Amino acid sequence: MKNNFIIHQQAQKYQWTGECFLSIKSFYNGQADYQVKQREYTVDPTNFLILNDCTKYRLTIDSATKTESFCVFFSPEFVSEVVSELHATDEQLLDFGGKQVVGIKLFEKNYSHQGLVSELLKKGKIKSRSGMSDIEKDEYYHQLLNAIVQQNSKTLRNANRLDFKKKSTRKEIYQRIFFVKDFIDSNYTDNLRLKDLAAIGLLSENHLLRNFSQIFGTTPFQYISQKRIQEAKRQIRESDKPIKDIASDMGYSSVTNFSNYFKAIVGQSPSAIRKK
């Protein structure tokens, strides 16, 4: 329908650079890394990524096992048709030949798997394996894009809670803070500085700190610490990797330093978690 298409493949190593339609990216049994200018996104089985039409990006898959991709692309003509009807009056909907042509710019960010969009991605992935008829695909594209637009409206409502007078400013700041959050998710084991994160969001350090805390209820440092410790906890439970190596891989300068942060967040020492 209007040149929408689905990419459902498996690969261990793959790289591609370019731009395409508005799209939603999901990956399973592994992860994919996207770079958009200075921004970075890691997409794995816990989340999905939305990128707008004409956004130029680099996709990299580098995995020991085959990573399954399920990505859906919506043509500009199709997006315009759907969005026009969502904003149309009852009279305009009856005037089939007189629909206004409009587009949409969605929040570009990683979204956690939950809600209708995630359900439709799972359904589409399963159906794609066995094959979908043309009309089934037609309906699927409509259902998925409508769910994405509804999700974007919810994100916009969250953005409007920020303390700025202009709606356009609230939306832009919210988007930039998520640029930073997604960058942290891809690089939390690195030695990140506040000035580096501020540069990703094109914000001052103080502006970043204040708005990050308002949106997420935590500071960038605290968020990084949570990410590091949760991943360390997973590795301690699921592998025999030495604790000192896990600490080093998570970016800590010593086991003592790591253990102090670990106990403060988890409530138990790393060695106590390993014994369980």
Where b means 16+ CB within 10 Å and e means fewer, 209-230 reads bebbeebeeeebeebbbebbbe
Q: Using 50, 70 and 90 to split pLDDT, how confident is the model at 276?
A: low
pLDDT computed for residue 163 by the predictor: 85
Contacts of 178 (CB under 8 A, 6+ apart): 107, 109
Which residue has tokens 């919210």? 174
pLDDT above 70 (res 137): yes
pLDDT per residue as tens digits for the range 36-70: 999 999 999 999 999 999 999 999 999 988 999 99
Structural tokens at position 26: 């999901």
pLDDT computed for residue 85 by the predictor: 82
pLDDT computed for residue 121 by the predictor: 98
Structural tokens at position 85: 């009807």
pLDDT computed for residue 274 by the predictor: 85
Task: Return the closest-CA partner of residue 21 out of 80, 86, 68, 67.
Answer: 80
